[in-house]
Amino acid sequence: MKLETDKPFWLSRNNLINLFSVDEFKEKVIKISVSNSKEFKDFGALNSLISHNKNLIILETEDYSIYLSLPFNFKRNFNSLDEIINFIQNDKEIFIFFIELGSWIIGKIKFKEILASKRGARYVKGRHKAGGQSQRRFERNREKWIEELYKKFVLDINDFFKKNLDESDYYLAFGEEKVINDLFNYDFKNKNKFIKRKSSLKNYNSKTLVSASTNIWSSRVYIDKKNAIVKNYE
């Protein structure tokens, strides 16, 4: 498997497991450590990893280091590559939703499996280009439509939790940053358990969940081919 060494990249669940299962690769790794992502905020190459997980795994070899941002948060150390594999392989149930101004989809998923889903919509007209009073009147109406959308979403997700047992391993919320942040001003069940993640996707539907049931298990990776970050960090 050829890995990129000049920029961060996504590594699928299966590719990560395959790589970490190779004896030759295992023998190269001389140290495994876990650090808080914020400790690397000054290293621009790691920005996308930092935003993906609050902890980073660092695999050091004699020649290079691999920075690994797993798809799910964890509170533990890893003493071997096999332990990382076990963490990724263990079946996890995830409550997830995608929301945009106009539609949303809520789901409960496992790896490559949709356990339950619910799609909803509330019309929100795009921004008005006219000026003057017409513009101000339209913006007031648009704010009302958006508020009604959020309220309808809250009813839907609370109903979804009621019908699908609200216990899960992880809770993920996807959408544009402003939409997600505005939504979280409203109260809904398990709100404080959700991890917010940005998404630029549009027109959410069942296919969104099908893709998520695979893609969400991918890890964000950066290879420091000269161990420069480790040396600087130390």
CATH code of the domain in which 138 resides: 3.30.420.60
Same domain (yes/no): 100, 145: yes
Same domain (yes/no): 58, 156: no
State both tokens at 198. 């940005």
Query: Which runs of consecutive H residues, i.e. helices, occur in 21-124?
Result: 23-28, 47-50, 81-89
Contact 155, 163 (CB under 8 A): no
> Alpha-carbon distance 67 to 60, whole Å?
9
**pLDDT(12) > 80:** yes
Question: Which pLDDT band, with edges at 50, 70 and 90, does 75 fall under?
Answer: confident
Give the least confident one: 24-28, 67-71, 125-129. Answer: 125-129
**Is pLDDT larger for residue 135 or for residue 214?**
214
Tell me what the pLDDT averaged over the chain comes to: 88
Q: β-strand 31-36 against 9-11: which pairing, if any? A: unpaired
Same domain (yes/no): 58, 41: yes
Sequential DSSP letters for 172-183: EEEE-HHHHHHH
Averaged pLDDT for residues 157-180: 90
Question: Integer distance in angstroms from the first to the last C-alpha of the chain?
Answer: 30
Same domain (yes/no): 34, 22: yes
pLDDT digits (tens, 9 = 90+) for 104-155: 999 999 999 999 999 999 887 765 555 555 666 767 777 888 899 999 999 9
pLDDT at residue 34, rounded to an integer: 95
Residue range of the domain that includes 43: 9-71+218-233
Same domain (yes/no): 188, 222: no
**pLDDT(78) > 70:** yes
Number of domains in the chain: 2
> Alpha-carbon distance 91 to 69, whole Å?
19
Q: β-strand 195-198 against 170-175: which pairing, if any? A: parallel
> Alpha-carbon distance 58 to 232, whole Å?
14
Same domain (yes/no): 130, 188: yes
Same domain (yes/no): 134, 59: no
Which range, 83-92, 119-128, 222-231, has the best average confidence (pLDDT)? 83-92
State both tokens at 105. 């989809």
Same domain (yes/no): 100, 40: no
Q: Counting beta carbons within 10 angstroms of the beta carbon of residue 230, is it exposed (0 to 12), middle (13 to 18) or buried (19 or more)?
A: middle
Q: Is residue 183 part of a domain?
A: yes
Same domain (yes/no): 104, 210: yes
CA atoms within 13 A on the CB side of 49: 31
pLDDT digits (tens, 9 = 90+) for 27-56: 999 999 999 998 888 888 899 899 889 999
Same domain (yes/no): 211, 106: yes
Q: Is residue 185 part of a domain?
A: yes
